[in-house]
Chains A and B, each alone.
Chain A
Amino acid sequence: MNKKMNIMDRIADSAKSVTTGVDAKDIEHWVTIYVMGRAYEVPADLTILTAMEFAGYKFVRGVGCRQGFCGACSTIYRKKGDYKLQTGMACQTRVEDGMYLVQIPFVPAEKAIYDISKESYDVNAILKHYPEIARCVSCNTCTKACPQDLEVMDYVQAALKGDFKKAAEESFDCIQCGLCAARCPSELVQYHIAQLARRMYGRYEFPEPDYLKKRVKEIDMGKFNKEMEKIMKASKKELVKLYAERERESD
């Protein structure tokens, strides 16, 4: 690195591989991956997503947040000499030598249509909208497929019993990638079932805190209007003073 560079240039230089793509000349360790059967030599440090970009793919599908939250880059793969079919998010899974893979960026799945305010808070809501849930054979394939390592079968069983608490809590970290539904031999759509269970639990299990109700009502009645009109007109000098004098709530 050039010692004469200013701080900003030094920071930019150090992050180059992340911001502009990896340069082959900086790479020491390589692995071979097979994208839908075709071999590519790629840097060993990359994820499946960045390795495919290195290999020349410009994604217009099968990519979203790139950080494991959106579920757009579902991928299935096998490793050399291994019978096991594995799943992962392309953005969160590091490449391994001999990995052969394909992305499954879309799962055809039926979502039930309902009005959450009109559902009865019991197991019938689940059975009515997703009757196929009764077909679950408890094979646990969904759990094995989940890239978030959720206990998918357990939350499906909980939903089937009307245990909304367990279904909601166990499924809470679901990114709705659809891999469970793609693998399910009973053709369930686990992630949509979980969505209904969570909304039911969130809406019917937790009453609104009284202080929230009270505040919304106060706002509706215009209780703060005067105070707010005053501060909206405050000069910068007045605001600076008020800001500096703010009392901080104790920890």
Chain B
Amino acid sequence: MAEMKLIGGYPEYMRKSIKKVEETRMKRKDYTPPAFTPEEQKEVLQLHPDFAPGGKRKLSIGPNKGDVGPIEVLDLLEAYPLIEEKDVNLSNIDFSTEILIIGGGLAGTTAAIWANESGVKTKDILLTNKLRHGDANSIMAEGGTQAADRPNDSLFRHYLDTIGGGHYANKPDVLNALVNDAPFIIQWLLKLGAIIDREENGDFVEKWGGGTSVRRLHSCRDYTGLEEFRVIRDEFRNREIPCIEHYPTVELLTNGKGRVTGAVLWNIETGEYKIVKSKATILATGGFGRLHIRGFPTTNHYGATCDGVVLAYHVGAKLRDIDTVQYHPTGAAYPIQIVGYLLTEKLRSSGAQPVNKDGEAFVFPLEPRDVEASSFIKECYVKEKGITTPTGLRGIWLDTPLIEIKNGDGYIDKAFPGMRRMYNRFDIDIRKDPVLVFPTLHYQNGGVETDPWGKTSVEGLWVAGEVSGGVHGKNRLMGNSTLDTMVFGRRAGISTAEYVKNNNTTLKLTLEHTKKYIKQLKDAGIKTDRRAPILLPDYRGKAVLARMIDVFQ
């Protein structure tokens, strides 16, 4: 059978629906559906994957015993550690460092620079990466970074927008730190030479984000995370801070009395382990998108497998808000090669409208993400007004041509080069045709609980970025994640620098905590082959896996 014929990237039957979108476009140009009332928001949220029946259970061990969380996450928390004391020799130390940073995205890299800036010598810092330095969600952040810097904006407004979006579950002191440091972080980025979009008069171009009451979003085209990360990594490299790649952490080490004192790294290519001794350890390992919670595709990078939360829980750190997961409303739903990929919220703040198969605008385009995502699910699966792709996925249209109608010709090339490029590769011109979207797993809202300096409940252990919990409550706003990584990366760097200066006790390295963890699992009656952290997802073909044998072991 011949492959399906495509016209401008779409099969003929989808073209028919696009025709309807075109017919209503000029009428919709000046019409925006009203925002939901709080009651309406509550109702549509029942369809959100966090609230829809199933998908969760209660955690049966550890400091958060009894808390409810996604099954995919709990499966990793209720799993046996990868190594035990008999597997490794802890008396042969390969790296002895003051500050160990695990994870080199925006948070970890920023932490390293600020530890150095705060007086820790470069040789006393070690940044470790599971994959390459920069294989992180940070680099894929498209939309922007929030900072309340304009005269009509305030820290108060930023705080209020964020806590309302987070369903009032955000930790107040941590959230205060986020909004307080935001303008400083923008200033720091400028000093490093980051190129942030400007108006003709030199002001920043500041855009709306879903759930904000003021235009507060600083962008670098639609490559914001890439630009921020590139300059920060370049700065890191100029300081010649030690950095090793392709060395995931398989377990933390403790002194046997609850203080973190290092980690066991594992060469992902050769299988050899390395022992690190450290006075302070910062986990900046990112989130869990690659767990595909509730079977959703994801925007996340390959290594987003919840490692940090698992490692922290092994040493007894307290978690919070692990029950909620962020689904980004606009993940690509077509073509199949890019399903789940992020289409930035900035498309909607620049005028692109969500539209159903009949060309009707059905929702206010900038509801908080959980509400917007739920309304798309409703349109597709309750109202049956979605479009079904050739592979059976459903989605609604995001009417991107409206962006140029509202902002002028050439705007998309200037503001969304990344999106243009991605769709061009599949013969779709987003200036002329809408794109099909459906919610995609995007962000770990909760994580390891911290204080405003990234300190966890366990001595010697800090966290920064997506691995942490509290700052975003139960739903993160756009533009607050890149901000989170830099604010708390910096704070963790400063805080650990202070800690190591005044700390000269002899450090013992043990895996006592894994013994305790295994005992807890056994006491709770958990019988399983599961082991964690999992380090990477597995997409290998099933037919191949069925015939795989290992003759080297």
Contact = CB atoms under 8 A, between A and B. Distances in A.
B218 to A, nearest CB: 10
Given A195-B230, A211-B151, A244 B548 contact: no
B169 to A, nearest CB: 9
Contact of B49 (A8, A201, A231): A8
B45 to A, nearest CB: 14
B536 A13 contact: no
B68 interface: no
Nearest to A23: B542
B213 A16 contact: no
B107 interface: no
B342 to A, nearest CB: 7
Given A6-B53, A60-B269, A211-B151, A66 B301 contact: yes
Interface string A222-233: 001001100111
A239 B195 contact: no
A113 interface: yes
Contacts of B523: none
A37 interface: no
A151 to B, nearest CB: 13
Contact of B149 (A11, A21, A212): A212
Contacts of A11: 294-296, 377, 381, 394
B192 interface: yes
Contacts of A23: 542
A188 B511 CA distance: 48
Given A61-B269, A113-B240, A246-B160, A21 B539 contact: yes
A143 interface: no
A58 B295 contact: no
Contact of A67 (B155, B341, B542): B341
> Across chains A and B, which 10 residue pairs bring their CB atoms closest together, nearest first?
A12-B295, A199-B193, A56-B544, A243-B164, A203-B193, A202-B193, A64-B135, A232-B172, A202-B195, A19-B292
B517 interface: no
Contacts of B214: 248-249
A216 B185 CA distance: 10
26 contacts: A1-B392, A6-B52, A11-B394, A14-B393, A18-B336, A20-B292, A21-B540, A29-B1, A46-B337, A58-B536, A58-B540, A61-B246, A64-B139, A69-B140, A92-B425, A113-B237, A116-B193, A173-B223, A198-B230, A199-B234, A206-B196, A214-B151, A215-B183, A219-B184, A228-B180, A249-B215
B334 to A, nearest CB: 12
A240 B150 CA distance: 25
A17 interface: yes
Contacts, number: 283
A208 to B, nearest CB: 6
Interface residues of B, number: 111
B194 interface: yes
Given A64-B132, A201-B193, A215-B148, A15 B540 contact: no
A247 B47 CA distance: 29
Contacts of A200: 193
Contacts of A69: 139-140, 223, 225-226, 418
Nearest to B548: A56
Interface of A: 1, 6-24, 28-29, 44-47, 50, 53-61, 63-70, 72, 92-94, 111, 113-117, 148-149, 168, 172-173, 175-176, 195, 198-203, 206-209, 211-216, 219, 224, 227-228, 231-233, 236, 239-240, 242-244, 246-249
Interface string B175-215: 11001100110110011111110100011100000000111
B375 interface: no
A175 to B, nearest CB: 7
Nearest to A242: B160
Contacts of A65: 135-137, 139-140, 301-302
Given A18-B297, A113-B237, 15 more contacts: A11-B295, A12-B294, A19-B292, A28-B1, A60-B268, A60-B269, A64-B131, A64-B302, A67-B338, A72-B135, A173-B221, A173-B223, A206-B195, A209-B149, A246-B160
A199 B231 contact: yes
B299 interface: yes
Contacts of B172: 232-233
Nearest to A70: B139
Nearest to B2: A29
B203 A209 contact: yes
Q: Which of A53, A69, A207, A209 has the most CB of B within 10 A?
A: A69
Contacts of A233: 172
B295 A67 contact: no
Given A18-B339, A63-B302, A202 B296 contact: no
Q: Which of A6, A219, A247 has the most CB of B within 10 A?
A: A219
B333 to A, nearest CB: 9
B155 A198 contact: no
B302 A206 contact: no
B198 A206 contact: yes
A203 B192 contact: yes
Contact of A45 (B47, B164, B337): B337
Nearest to B202: A209
Q: Which of A21, A23, A175 has the most CB of B within 10 A?
A: A21
B168 interface: yes
Given A206-B190, A212-B187, A231-B156, A21 B180 contact: no
Contact of B223 (A13, A113, A115, A172): A172
A50 B541 CA distance: 9
A216 B544 contact: no
Interface in B12-41: 38
Given A64-B132, A69-B226, A199-B234, A18 B340 contact: yes
A219 B185 CA distance: 12
Contacts of B231: 198-199, 202
Contacts of A214: 151
A12 B186 contact: no
Contacts of A111: 234, 237
Contacts of A53: 539-541
A21 B542 contact: yes
Nearest to B187: A216
Contacts of B545: 56
B421 interface: yes
A66 B537 CA distance: 12
Q: Which of A14, A195, A206 has the most CB of B within 10 A?
A: A14
B110 to A, nearest CB: 16
